Chain A
Amino acid sequence: MRDPLVEPFDPIARLRVLAAALPGSVIAERTLDASFDQVWQVIADLETMTPRYEHNVSTVEVTDRDGARATILVTTRTGHTETMDVRLVLGWCLMHSPSTVVAFAARDAGNQTLLAHLELNRTAQPASQTGSSADAHDKLMDELHTIELLSQTPDTPPTL
């Protein structure tokens, strides 16, 4: 029997703890109709898949990689570039820069997958001041839905 004290910490719980430490962050969760492996194949393919579910992103380039740690260069649709640090392990993906935090956490749920998503944009006004927290949550839910479609047909763009 495995020792519960040394079990890996549940990624979904980790994302909730991260959110607790990051005021202003927005999180969304959705059970995707795709296997854990299918979903994680999409999340882990940063260069190909990120621009397909995150419409503000034009390109992602992995500029350095050392095991679970990586550095990526993100270019937005408006031409802004940003270097982000990445930690990518099975079920957990954290991408962050001083201005932006993005995280994904996945838990195997049989034929389905619980996927949680966090975003924090420190350059934007807090959602609590703009009344846009619902919009921010809707954006994350849309991305989770797109990831579900990509997971079901990873080789073709989703039909939205």
Chain B
Amino acid sequence: MDPGLVRAAQGGDAGAIDDLIDALVPLVRSIAFRVAGAPAEDASQEALLVIFRDLHALRTPEAIISWASAVTARVVSRIDRGDRRHRETETALDADRPAAWFDTDAVEVAEVLRRLATHDHQLLVLRDLHGYSEREVADTLGVPLGTVKSRVHRARRRFREEWNR
């Protein structure tokens, strides 16, 4: 995504904001769907409101995708926690392929994610759902690279434990 478009939007250019909305809607809907486990248009709209309300605070326009992804995951997760019920599953997970976890039933994945701590949830969405590098996750969340490495390891272990519960 063009960082110039993001900078123009941050500067209050209404046309750039309009174009940036178009650019981010598919991303936000996709993440909302994955996190909530179903089309979540209301949650997507709420996430977009937060993204554009806080856009001026984004210091690195080049990071717009990872930042907007993290904001969306956080907002949708918060909303989703409040209105979804627990569902059990017996599906097995391939411990060696975390990214494949998200190819299984999205509803069940979302339910397990919801049971994790928020920072574990965010890490897994960014790292394994969206395939960000550990460096990109570190930049997005504003934590050291070494911290991301250890937290991802722990978050995956917790996810497996919750999944098999």
Contacts and interface: CB of A to CB of B under 8 A. Distances in A.
B26 A17 contact: no
B88 interface: no
Interface stretch (B13-21, B116-124, B149-157): B13-21
B18 A13 contact: no
State which size class the interface on A falls in.
Answer: 20 to 34
Contacts of B21: 9, 14, 17-18
B29 A17 contact: no
B152 to A, nearest CB: 27
User: Counting chain B CB atoms within 10 Å of each CB, which of A10, A13, A85, A120 scores highest?
Assistant: A13
Nearest to A14: B21
Contacts of B82: none
Interface stretch (B48-56, B63-71, B73-81, B90-98): B48-56
A101 interface: yes
Given A9-B25, A18-B21, A4 B41 contact: yes
B15 A21 contact: no
B17 A21 contact: yes
A117 to B, nearest CB: 14
A7 B38 CA distance: 14
User: Counting chain A CB atoms within 10 Å of each CB, which of B21, B22, B30 scores highest?
Assistant: B21
Interface string A11-25: 001101110111000
Contacts of A7: 41
Contact of B48 (A13, A96, A120): A13
A5 B44 CA distance: 10
Nearest to A97: B14
Chain B binding surface SS class: helix
A17 B48 contact: yes
Contact of B30 (A5, A20, A103): A5
B9 interface: yes
Contacts of B45: 10, 13, 16-17
B146 interface: no
Interface string A92-117: 00101000010100000000000000
User: Counting chain B CB atoms within 10 Å of each CB, which of A4, A6, A87, A94 scores highest?
Assistant: A4
Contact of A21 (B26, B29, B30, B53): B53
A18 B41 contact: no
Contact of A96 (B15, B29, B53, B55): B15
A9 B25 CA distance: 7
B22 A18 contact: no
B3 interface: no
Interface of B: 9, 12-15, 17-18, 21-22, 25-26, 29-30, 33, 39, 41, 45, 48-50, 52-53, 55
